[in-house]
Amino acid sequence: MTNLQIASTDAPKSDTPKLGGRIRRLRRQEGLSQAALAIELGISASYLNLIEHNRRNLTVPLLIKLAERFELELSEIAESDEGRLSADLMEAFGDDLFGDIDLTTTDVRDLVTSNSTVARAILALYDRYRNMRDDAETVGAQARTNHDDVTISDRLPSEQVSDFLQARANYFPELEESAERVNHDSSLSGEDTLGAMSTFLTNTFGVRVMDMPEDDTRAVRRFDPDSRILGLSKMLPADSRNFQAAHQIGLLAADREIDMLVDEGDFTNEDGRTLARIALANYFAGALLMPYDTFHKAAKTHRYDVELLQHRFGVSFEQACHRLTTLQRPRKRGVPFHLLRADIAGNISKRFSLSGIHIPRHGGACPRWNVYTAFLQPGTINVQISQMPDGKTFFCIARTVHKANGGYGQPRSYLSIGLGCEMSDAAALVYADGINLERPERIVPIGVSCRTCPRMDCGQRAFPPVAHALETDENARGVSAYSSASA
C-alpha cells in the first residue's frame, strides 16, 4: 500500500497530483468510453469527466478501484505529466524573449502544479510564436532571394503528431486489433512475408504490388488509387519493402480506425492530420509485422535485445525499437521506454517518452547524450547510464543507422536511434549485464538542453543557462566560456 492521500473536494488543492490525464490515457488504451468506465467504478459519467479534466479530486477508495481495474500499483496510477510539462516550459522560458524576466525552476513548477491548463496554454502560445518566428525568417530570406510568395504556417504538424502520440502513450488498441485480424487473414507466419501481403492486397482490395521503375528515385512507395497499383522501390532492403507494403495495408484495412483516431486529435491544419495518418499507418505496419503477443514474449525472452528482435521479425533496428515503445497493453506491458531519433546535425526528428526522461521540444538535446556520441562508433550499440540534474537516472542505448535510396553516389542519411528506461527497469535489459546497477561507476551527467541545464561545470556548454547569472572573468576561464573559474 502507499501513503498517498488524495482528498475529495469540489476544488482541487494546488498540491494535489493532477491525475486526470493519466486516467483518461489508461481508459483510452483499453478502448473504454467514459460511460463504461464510470459504471465499473460506480460513479456517474459526468463525475468521471470532471476527474479527467482535473476539476474533481480522487478519493482513496476510488483510486484503489482504478488501480485494481487497470492492474497497476497505486504509485503508477498517481504518476502525472507535470514533470514533462515543467521541462517543456523551462525550455520555452530559456528563449532570449524572456531574458529580462527573472524566472526560476520553482516558479515554473508552481505554475504547473497550481494550474496546468494555463501552463499548457502558455506552452502552446510559445510553440505558435516560435514556429511563426522561424517561418517569418525563412519567408524573409526567400522573398529577398527569389521574390516568392510564401505563407507562414501554423503550429508545426510534426509537433502536433508528437504531442498526439505522447498523449496516447503511443498505444492504440484499435490498430492492434485491426493488425491482428489482417495478420490472421493474410497468414504472415510464413517466410515470404511480402508475398503473403501482396496476395492479401490483391484478394481483399484488388491491389497489385509491382516494382517501381529504376529511374524513379524520388519515392520508395507509390500507390495509384485509380489503377490499384502499389509500386515499391527495388532499391529498398527487404525489411523496408515489407514495412512499406504493411503501411499501405494499414491505410486500406484500418482506414476507419485511423480516421476515428485522427478526429480525436487536436490537429489545427490538414498537414497535421495527414502526418497523423502516416504515423498511425506506420504504427499499424509495426503491429502487423510484429504481432503484439508474439513480439512481447520474444522481447521478454531475449531481454530486449534489439538486434535479436530485428532478425527474428525481419525488421529494421529502428522499427524494432519503435515497436518496443508500444508495448503498453494492460496486463501485458513491456518496459516503459523513451525513444528519440537524431541526425548528425543534432536535430531531433522523433521523440517519445514513457521513461520520464525529458526530451526537448525545440532544437537538439544535450551533446552528452549517447544518441549523439553513437555517431563516433557507427553501427555499434552504445550504452550509457545518464543522470539528469534532478538526480533521476536512466539506462540508455543508442546506435546509428543509415538510409539510402540508390546506388553509388546517391545521398545517404545518417541517423542515431536512442532507446532508454529508468534505472529501476535496467535489469530487464541484456545490455545491463556486467554492470553494477546498485553502484554504477560510469554515470554520465546530462541535461535536457544547455539553456535549461544548471550544470555549470560542463565543458560542452554551448549557451548560458537561463536560471543562472553569468559569472565571467576576462582574466580566468572556466571549463566553458559561460562558467566561472572560481572555486
Q: Of 241, 240, 280, which Cα lies nearest the Cα of 231?
A: 241
Buried b (16+ CB within 10 A) or exposed e, 13-41: eeebbbbbbbbbbbbbbeebebeebbeeb
| Kind and range of the H or E run holding 90 | helix 82-93
pLDDT of residue 470: 65
pLDDT of residue 156: 79
Sheet holding 443-445: strands in order across? 348-353, 338-343, 412-422, 393-404, 382-387, 443-445
Count of alpha carbons within 13 Å of 233, Cβ hemisphere only?
A: 18
The burial class, CB within 10 Å (0-12 / 13-18 / 19+), for 358 is buried
Q: What are phi and psi of 341, to 5 degrees?
A: -125, 130
Using the Cα atoms of residue 82, residue 352, residue 421 and residue 391 in order, give the sign of their dihedral: negative
Residue 404's alpha-carbon distances to 279, 399, 409, 412, in angstroms, are: 21, 17, 10, 5
Q: What is the DSSP letter of 426?
A: G
Cβ distance 399 to 379 under 8 Å?
yes
As a whole number of angstroms, the distance between CA 46 and CA 269 comes to 30
Amino acid identity of residue 13, one-letter, is K
As a whole number of angstroms, the distance between CA 277 and CA 259 comes to 8
pLDDT of residue 301: 97
* 215 Cβ neighbours under 8 A, 6+ residues apart: none
- Bridge partners (DSSP) listed for residue 26: none
Domains of the chain: 20-80 (1.10.260.40), 83-153 (no CATH), 154-289 (1.10.10.2910), 332-445 (3.30.450)
Residue 91's alpha-carbon distances to 198, 303, 360, 448, 451, in angstroms, are: 47, 35, 7, 8, 7
* 104 Cβ neighbours under 8 A, 6+ residues apart: 467
Cβ distance 249 to 230 under 8 Å?
no
Q: Of 343, 347, 345, 362, which Cα lies nearest the Cα of 96?
A: 362
Query: DSSP string spanning 23-71?
Result: HHHHHHHTT--HHHHHHHHTS-HHHHHHHHTTSSPPPHHHHHHHHHHTT
pLDDT of residue 84: 73
**pLDDT averaged per 10 residues in sequence order, the chain, 487 residues:** 36 51 79 89 88 76 81 59 75 74 77 78 81 61 48 69 89 96 86 93 96 84 95 92 97 96 89 95 97 97 97 96 94 93 91 89 83 94 92 95 72 90 95 88 86 80 71 70 64
Q: What is the widest separation between alpha-carbon atoms in the chain? A: 77
Q: What is the pTM of this model?
A: 0.75
